[in-house]
A = this chain, B = another copy of it.
């Protein structure tokens, strides 16, 4: 039987080149059973005319399908579905009715309902995206990343790509971090003291699982990274939020029965404040007095374009008391999912065993690509370029904020990629964010960063990591207008607004 050319169509919203679309359409026709073994395909000329593409495009697609044994060619008679082509299963999928399972009972532990705020997935389509922590295509060194990824896909790296590392990591990445990244933070660590994680999120999660139980107490900054609070809540440990001041977490306010202190000394998240050296020493002393551990999330140290970063807390730690969390999400991109933990061996050993149980290891190709990008110096070059761009954006934004008299509640002494802002008391920033979104302006309400039920409503975060300098002014204009109009009407509850 000849397959009628009419049954071939390209999906108008399909991705990829025309050639790969054709290839895909035919492969899927075979896999789904629509095209069967021995059936004749339209000639390349006929299909090309029908689809409105060039004949060579169809010919290349057919040739690929020949190579994969989906099709065979019988000389001048044309192309046929190969006798070796895969056969779809004989059993048809069945439609299923409503579940007979009582899921309320069946689910043993619930994890949904956390605080983590999501950006709109299409944030790139907004004109004024003051959103935090996303890669800016205008700044990222895509070309060299591509080259490094390609290198890591080479025949020589086949093992690094495909192997099951079990609980281990790519030795090249570990070595680079140990020899070059950590020394720049003043940290010395042996490979056994380093564990690669699926981003800083995964590092914080592993740490929490190893160190905390329902009987132990964690002190966390308030406000803080909301995902950390979700992680701690899920561990069911006791939690004490410690209100931060302009110098970060005040050591005296940490309860004496604390087991683990979570802190972000380089740039406090979200206020961006930097903890001064004297307080770092005080914090270490306080922790030693209580025999508590400290988890240092050094998530944005690379963005220190105003002055050199302070040494990490971990570099001042002679007790082995500090567990250090590093991340490539900010300096490379969050979709990479790559971070690392540095700590004493007994701790890393347990974190490694847990990681192995949960997911084995981060994909080999991702690790090797990062290893190349780092060791060829591209990462450092990128950070300098990003630093220059962020510096410019920050100055533009600072001028615009000052022009409108908007209140800055926190700004990193070393740089960073955002301002922590405070609106007039009457303004609920969740409502503010909703209204601005309709105008193409994305800001982050500060609610989710705070602990407890009486969360301050007037804070918000303005990042400049994903918005070009020349749009900042106009975006801040729109923001300022909206704040003025809301403050003027005394709106704090969205329900009051018609």
Chain A positions within 8 Å of B, measured between CB atoms, are: 15-16, 20, 23-24, 26-28, 30-32, 65, 68-70, 84, 86-104, 106-114, 116, 118-119, 121, 124, 133-135, 137, 140, 142, 145-146, 149-151, 153, 155-156, 158-168, 172, 180, 182-188, 197-199, 201-202, 205, 209-213, 216, 227, 230-231, 234, 259, 288, 291, 293, 308-309, 311, 315, 317-321, 329, 333-338, 344, 346-347, 349-350, 352-354, 356-366, 372, 375-378, 380-381, 383-384
Is there an interface contact between B145 and A333, defined as CB atoms closer than 8 Å?
no
Residues on the B chain within 8 Å of A202, using CB? 358-360
The answer on a CB contact under 8 Å between A337 and B353 is: no
Given A101-B293, A318-B100, A360-B198, answer yes or no on A107-B159 (Cβ-Cβ < 8 Å).
no
* Contact in complex: B180, A31 (CB < 8 Å): yes
The answer on a CB contact under 8 Å between B121 and A168 is: yes
C-alpha spacing A113/B357, complex, angstroms: 11
Contact present for B89 and A311 (CB under 8 Å): yes
Q: Which residues of B contact A70 (CB under 8 A)?
A: 377, 381
Among A112, A118, A209, max chain B CB count under 10 A is at A112
Report yes or no: B353 in contact with A101, Cβ–Cβ below 8 A.
no
Once A166-B116, A376-B20 are accepted as A-B contacts, the answer to whether A319 and B99 lie under 8 Å apart by CB is yes
**A363 engages B360 (CB within 8 Å):** no
Separation in Å of the A222 CB from the closest CB of chain B?
20
Residues of chain B within 8 A (CB-CB) of A347 are 103, 106-107
Question: Contacts of A91 on B, CB cut-off 8 Å?
Answer: 186, 311, 315
- Measured between alpha carbons, how far is A357 from B115 in the docked complex, in Å? 11
Is the Cβ of B95 less than 8 Å from the Cβ of A188? Answer: yes
A30 to B234, CA, bound (A): 44
A172: chain B residues within 8 A (beta carbon): 15
**A183 touching B93 by the CB < 8 A rule?**
yes
Cβ-defined contact, B108 with A65, below 8 A: no
A27 and B162 contacting across the interface, CB-CB below 8 Å: no
Question: Measured between alpha carbons, how far is A188 from B346 in the docked complex, in Å?
Answer: 46
Contacts A/B (CB < 8 Å), 5 sampled: A30-B377, A112-B352, A116-B166, A165-B335, A365-B366
Contact A198 B106 (CB under 8 A): no
A320 touches B101 (CB 8 A): yes
Judge whether B336 and A112 touch: CB under 8 Å.
Answer: no
Taking A100-B321, A183-B32, A198-B198 as contacts, is the C-beta distance between A375 and B95 under 8 angstroms?
Answer: no
